[in-house]
């Protein structure tokens, strides 16, 4: 067991932190659609949209662990956690399944643009009555000569309103249950694919998310990811990468938050003393660090198992719970320790709003505990 991060990776993460801090370290306004596109291009130049994509496609060819460490640096450097989430979702929930399941022709056509940030991808899985339960999907893909016709609606697609490519899942055989789901990578300008405006939501405002509808949307067979009926496997594969590596952005948020709180506690004075000298304050900050360090170890282990090709399901679930719950708890502490300032828009309260959805997306905390219980044989 070696906890030392190689020098080259340390340098890469330091560069990412510096670049993202220079670009988005002071951002407060919610970016518009055109600004999001400029942000993705900038993220592409920093190498963030292609971290784990092949070098021949313009990516860095990193594994899950190194990808998570880079996203941690991104989350620490950028005040716009929503943008970091948008980039990570684009990369892990969309580009990864294209990388691993698309045809050779589709990979050649899509991966360079995905890696550079010129093309923005959206993950359209969730429906009004189906989230983690992939067997309950209502969107259908009717086989026709040369392809499929998609019909139905997805309720929550990260990057949906600004997407150029939509990775989605649909029923191709209603009688086959789990094995009747197929995955598709559909160009957003395909007739019959309708992107609805961005949803108003609490937190992660830098990530535009919205409904996507398919109305007799005809797609060629080349849009299929993997084989027909392999959609559940594609989804689980992409979720393993997302649940493991994406949450690096929250490690970065917690590190940035901890730095800010330590600085505040060292500077703010009450009753003639720095507030960090009061045990009630210092112990609370110590607990924030303990949650961060513990969550980081679980996340790194989950990514290491994923890279090693070992059984990672329970480890990823444990990591996802630890990071998301630590992010919420630390953000609540940060609001409290900041006093009235923590209640103002744009500070600790914004970090809390960005942390809250982490217990919901990529499978709720309850779903993760179900996976852990199943691993225990319960």
Same fold, 121-230 and 247-375: no
- Assigned superfamily of 247-375: Butyryl-CoA Dehydrogenase, subunit A, domain 3 (1.20.140.10)
Residue count (the chain): 378
Backbone φ and ψ of 186, nearest 5°: -115, 125
DSSP 50-91: GTTS-GGGTS----HHHHHHHHHHHHHH-S-HHHHHHHHHII
pLDDT on residue 2: 87
| List of residues 6+ apart from 313 with CB closer than 8 A | 240, 371, 375
**Which listed CATH number (3.40.50.280, 1.10.540.10, 1.20.1440.230, 3.30.465.10) goes with 7-116?**
1.10.540.10
- Annotated catalytic residue within 242, 293, 366, 370: 242
pLDDT on residue 346: 81
| List of residues 6+ apart from 218 with CB closer than 8 A | 144, 147, 148, 149, 150, 190, 191, 192
Query: CA-CA-CA-CA torsion for 48, 49, 50, 51, nearest 10 degrees?
Result: 40
Q: Which two tokens stand for residue 293?
A: 């360090």
Q: Is 66 a catalytic residue?
A: no
So what CATH class is 121-230?
mainly beta
pLDDT on residue 89: 98
How far from chain centre, in Å, is Cα 99?
Answer: 17
pLDDT on residue 285: 98
For the question of whether the overall pTM of this predicted structure is more than 0.85, the answer is: yes
Q: How many helices (H) and strands (E) does the chain have?
A: 12, 10
Q: Where are the domains of the chain?
A: 7-116, 121-230, 247-375
pLDDT on residue 135: 78
Distances (CA, A) of 90 to 97, 122, 315, 359: 11, 6, 23, 19
Taking only the tens of pLDDT, the chain with its 378 residues reads 889 999 999 999 999 999 999 999 998 888 999 999 999 999 999 999 999 999 999 999 999 999 999 999 999 999 999 999 999 999 999 999 999 999 999 999 999 999 999 999 999 999 998 877 777 899 999 999 999 999 999 999 999 999 999 999 999 999 998 899 999 999 999 999 999 999 999 999 999 999 999 999 999 999 999 999 999 999 999 999 999 999 999 999 999 999 999 999 999 999 999 999 999 999 999 999 999 999 999 999 999 999 999 999 999 999 999 999 999 999 999 999 999 888 888 889 999 999 999 999 999 999 999 999 999 999
**How far is the C-alpha of 243 from the C-alpha of 237, rounded, in Å?**
10
Q: What is the DSSP letter of 93?
A: I
């Amino acid at each position: 067991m070696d906890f030392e991060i190689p020098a080259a990776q340390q340098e890469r993460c330091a560069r990412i932190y510096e670049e993202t801090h220079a670009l988005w370290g002071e951002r407060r306004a919610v970016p518009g659609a055109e600004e999001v596109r400029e942000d993705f291009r900038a993220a592409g130049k920093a190498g963030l949209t292609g971290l784990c994509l092949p070098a021949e496609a313009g990516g860095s060819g990193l594994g899950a662990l190194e990808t998570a460490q880079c996203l941690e640096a991104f989350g620490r450097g950028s005040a716009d956690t929503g943008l970091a989430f948008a980039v990570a979702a684009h990369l892990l929930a969309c580009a990864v399944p294209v990388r691993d399941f698309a045809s050779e022709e589709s990979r050649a056509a899509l991966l360079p643009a995905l890696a550079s940030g010129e093309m923005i991808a959206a993950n359209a899985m969730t429906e009004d009555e189906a989230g983690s339960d992939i067997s309950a999907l209502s969107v259908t893909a009717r086989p026709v000569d040369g392809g499929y016709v998609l019909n139905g609606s997805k309720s929550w697609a990260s990057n949906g309103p600004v997407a150029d490519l939509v990775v989605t899942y649909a029923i191709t055989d209603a009688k086959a249950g789990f094995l009747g789901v197929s995955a598709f990578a559909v160009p957003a300008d395909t007739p019959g694919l309708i992107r609805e405006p961005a949803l108003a939501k609490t937190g992660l405002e830098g990530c535009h998310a919205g409904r996507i509808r398919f109305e007799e949307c005809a797609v060629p067979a080349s849009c299929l990811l993997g084989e027909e009926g392999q959609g559940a496997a594609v989804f689980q594969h992409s979720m393993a990468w997302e649940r493991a590596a994406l949450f690096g952005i929250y490690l970065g948020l917690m590190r940035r938050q901890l730095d800010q709180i330590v600085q505040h506690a060292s500077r703010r004075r009450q009753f003639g003393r720095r507030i960090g000298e009061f045990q009630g304050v210092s112990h609370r900050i110590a607990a924030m660090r303990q949650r961060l360090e513990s969550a980081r170890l679980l996340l790194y282990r989950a990514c290491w198992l994923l890279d090693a090709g070992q059984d990672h399901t329970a480890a990823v679930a444990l990591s996802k719970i630890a990071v998301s719950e630590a992010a919420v708890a630390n953000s609540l502490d940060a609001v409290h320790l900041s006093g009235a300032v923590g209640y103002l828009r744009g500070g600790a309260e914004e970090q809390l709003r960005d942390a809250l959805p982490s217990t919901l997306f990529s499978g709720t905390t309850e779903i993760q505990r179900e996976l852990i219980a199943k691993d225990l044989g319960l």
